[in-house]
Every structure is written in C-alpha cells, then in structure tokens.
C-alpha cells in the first residue's frame, strides 16, 4: 500500500493543489482545491483516482475557493482547517468577487481539525499539526510512512508564509515551523502552497527566515 501524489498548480496564484491517493485502491483526496475544477477532475480521471474527500490547510481564496463546489459535486466531505479560519471561509464569496475569481459557493467544513488529529485517506493515515501564523487556523498534513508533508503556506523553499494578512502573526509562524514541523524530521519532503518542493532539512540549513543558525 503506497501513497501517490500529483501537484496541480491552480488559479492565477499558481497554488499547489495536491491530488493524493492510495495506489492499491485508487481512491484518494484533493488538498487545497483553490480553483480550476475542470483541471483537477481531469487529472483525477487521467490517473484513475476516485476522490473521496477534500482537505484544506487554511481558508485563503487560492486554497479553498472551489472546495465547496467540488465537495457538493462529488458528494464528499471537507476536512480542515482548524476552526480559527472560519472567518476566512465565511469571507470567500466576497474575496472571490474582489479578486476576479469565479463565484464561490459557500460552505462550512464537515470536520474541523485540531493539533494531533489524524485524517484517513483511502486507508492512509495523515497526522495533523495546527500551525498558526500565516492564518490562525492553518493546519498541515503529514504522512509518516512516505515522509511527505503538505504544508500549505506555512513554509516555502527559501521563504515562509506572509503574516501581513488579517490575523497573521510572525512570531506564531516561526514557532509553528520550529516546534511543529522540524520535529517531524529533516528527511521530510514538503509540498508548499506555492513553488517547488523542498525538505525540512534543507530549510533548516539554508532558509534565511528559519535556518537553525539564526537561533543560536
């Protein structure tokens, strides 16, 4: 039984939506379907994957705007983020209009996630870590057997998430990275919300915001 993943940059923000599945059952989930639903569904069909749930790292438009429509169309639940991002999810229809996105169908996640929760995807277990800072309710998903984490906008190759948006908190973000991500292991490969993959070890060595050398 193995985890497979395909990264699909979506929306004008080129946000990394991730299709994850179990290669034995060919069932899986979509993480952060921010838009371009036709592309997401086509990728799932091409891979032969049946989507059984939607996962959200946080409530920003480029990550969550199409989640409600996809879940309704497929009849699947939405899990995540943490309940502290409800204010962002409630604002999605207005945000979509403001930024020229397609109209957003409102939704409330079927399950809010807490630090230490687990999420099941087709027999694969993902550990949930609450990582506030970019948004107050941001979570990440970690599949320990594959050493793979989906971290949304917490951490990027060579950078970190913005904290100048509503209820962002720079100190909390740095703490989330150092206390909730680094303990998972230097060998963990992560899918960021934008841009290329990296590893926690590489960021601990060279990321100017969170390198170990910054903290003595």
Rounded-to-integer distance, Cα 58 and Cα 81, Å: 5
From the list 80, 72, 55, the residue with the least C-alpha distance to 5 is 55
Phi, psi dihedrals of residue 3, rounded to the nearest 5°? -85, 135
- What average pLDDT does the structure give for the chain? 97
pLDDT of residue 1: 64
- The Cα 40–Cα 44 span in angstroms is 6
Nearest to 191 by CA among 57, 68, 70: 57
Three-class SS of residue 205?
A: helix
pLDDT tens string 65-75: 999 999 999 99
Per domain, the residue ranges of the chain are 3-215
Beta-ladder partners of 142: 127, 149
pTM over 0.95: yes
pLDDT tens digits for range 119-178: 999 999 999 999 999 999 999 999 999 999 999 999 999 999 999 999 999 999 999 999
Q: Does domain 3-215 have CATH number 3.60.15.10?
A: yes
CA 56 – CA 4 distance, rounded (Å)? 18
């Amino acid at each position: 039984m193995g985890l497979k993943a395909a990264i699909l940059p979506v929306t004008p923000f080129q946000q990394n939506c991730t299709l994850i599945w179990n290669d034995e059952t060919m069932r899986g989930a979509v993480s952060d379907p921010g838009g371009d639903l036709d592309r997401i569904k086509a990728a799932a069909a091409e891979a032969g994957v049946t989507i059984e749930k939607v996962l959200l790292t946080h409530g920003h438009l480029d990550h969550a705007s199409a989640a409600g429509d996809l879940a309704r169309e497929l009849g699947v639940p939405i899990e995540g983020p943490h309940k502290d991002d409800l204010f962002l999810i409630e604002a999605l229809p207005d945000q979509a209009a403001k930024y020229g996105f397609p109209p957003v169908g409102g939704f409330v996640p079927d399950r809010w996630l807490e630090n230490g929760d687990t999420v099941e995807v087709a027999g694969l277990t993902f550990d949930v870590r609450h990582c506030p800072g970019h948004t107050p309710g941001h979570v990440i998903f970690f599949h320990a057997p594959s050493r793979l984490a989906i971290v949304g906008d917490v951490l990027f190759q060579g950078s970190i998430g913005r904290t100048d948006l509503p209820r962002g908190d720079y100190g909390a973000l740095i703490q989330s990275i150092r206390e909730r991500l680094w303990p998972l292991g230097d060998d963990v490969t992560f899918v960021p919300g934008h841009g290329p993959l990296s590893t926690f070890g590489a960021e601990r060595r060279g990321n100017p915001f969170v390198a170990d050398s910054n903290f003595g």
